[in-house]
Amino acid sequence: MNSSIKVLVIENNEAITKDMEKYFSSHEVIKVVACKKDGEEGLNYIINNVSNIDVIVMDLLIPKLDGLFILSELKRRNIKKNVIITTSFKDDAVMDEANKYGVTYYMIKPVNFISLEKRIMSININNTKNKTFNQEVILTDLLHSLGIPSHIRGYQYIRDGIILMYNSPNQIAYITKEIYPEIALKYYTTASRVERAIRHAIEISWNRGDMDLMDEIFGNSLNLNRDKPTNAEYLSTLADRLRVKSNLVTN
């Protein structure tokens, strides 16, 4: 069987979402991983589950945050996903604006689920899935080599922080306002606890990691005998390292 295509649905019409879930419930490839009733819930889900989404099926006219805002936010955060717009809103200017964000398909409601199925199945996600897998393998090996035990909370927080910075390099400037709160929301904790757990993990890494690797990664900007990197320096440096390694593997 082919790898599953994981679909997020953002739609405030509950009848449509129930019918869509029912239609795809026994599908061998397409899996609806979540349905969100408004743009705020949808965007938060995307941010916290980037690697668990292949396709976003979304209306433009949804409460709280509309579809165009979500598309602009995905672009700002450099989150690249296949997006299928399903809407009854027929406006050429809005369609043109949506297309600027690289929408994969635009379907007018009422949408025939057979047609939607064909659209989803036509999307080639293999390269994206392989790249995500390579990133996870590279990141796991890197963190283990740096001496961070996988059982401590800071390990997973660092992983998520690196992925967030990898997807949106400009987030380094907003580590306190964006990255810590996003991680905290995912794990039902506070931003301050996330910050402390990451700091603790870095301290462990600095004491027991591969010193040659540490010097290779951090040596140009830090004195290993005196300074540990800040949380922002640690995450951003490893995000850059992951970006280089991923490109070498996938290109």
- What ranges do the domains of the chain cover? 5-124, 128-250
CA distances from 76 to 57, 101, 169 (A): 19, 10, 10
Asked, colleague to colleague, whether 5-124 and 128-250 share their fold, the answer is no
Q: What is the pLDDT of residues 86-109, one digit of tens each?
A: 888 776 677 777 777 778 888 888
pLDDT at residue 65 is higher than 50: yes
Inter-residue contact 107 to 55 (CB < 8 Å): no
CA angle 19, 23, 25 (to 5 degrees): 110
Query: Both tokens of residue 168?
Result: 């949106």
Strands, DSSP E only, in the chain?
5-10, 30-36, 55-58, 82-87, 105-108
pLDDT at residue 245, rounded to an integer: 74
Backbone angles phi, psi at 92, to 5 degrees: -60, -40
pTM of the predicted protein model = 0.51
CATH topology of domain 128-250: Arc Repressor Mutant, subunit A (1.10.10)
Q: What class is the 5-124 domain?
A: alpha beta
Task: Output the average pLDDT for the chain.
Answer: 82
pLDDT at residue 171, rounded to an integer: 62
